[in-house]
Amino acid sequence: MPKMKTKSSAKKRFSVTASGLVRSGQSNKRHNMRKRSKRQLRDQRGTTILCPADGKMVLSYMPYNQ
């Protein structure tokens, strides 16, 4: 049986925590920052954990990270 391929776009954008949750960067931080509140910009720093439904889908793209 040949090896399964990991989707390159997923391995660049997501990482898996030790407990199996999927971590990703915050969204909505590319442009038009002046329109957003300071609180929103503070809250969007760093990374976030995906919801279980999205995390399950992303894990299917990375078969060797489970």
Spell out the domain ranges in the chain: 8-61
Beta strand residue intervals within 1-66, DSSP E: 14-16, 22-25, 47-49
Q: Tell me, yes or no, if the pTM score tops 0.85.
A: no
Write out pLDDT tens, residues 6-61. 999 999 999 999 999 999 999 999 999 999 999 999 999 999 999 999 999 999 99
Could you tell me if 32 and 38 are in contact, meaning their C-beta atoms sit under 8 angstroms apart? no
Distance, in Å, from the CA atom of 45 to the CA atom of 10, rounded to the nearest integer, reads 20
Structural tokens at position 57: 């889908």
Q: Is 8-61 CATH 4.10.410.60?
A: yes
How many CB atoms sit inside 10 A of residue 16's CB? 15
Q: Is the pLDDT of residue 66 over 80?
A: no
Predicted local distance difference test score (pLDDT) of residue 44: 94
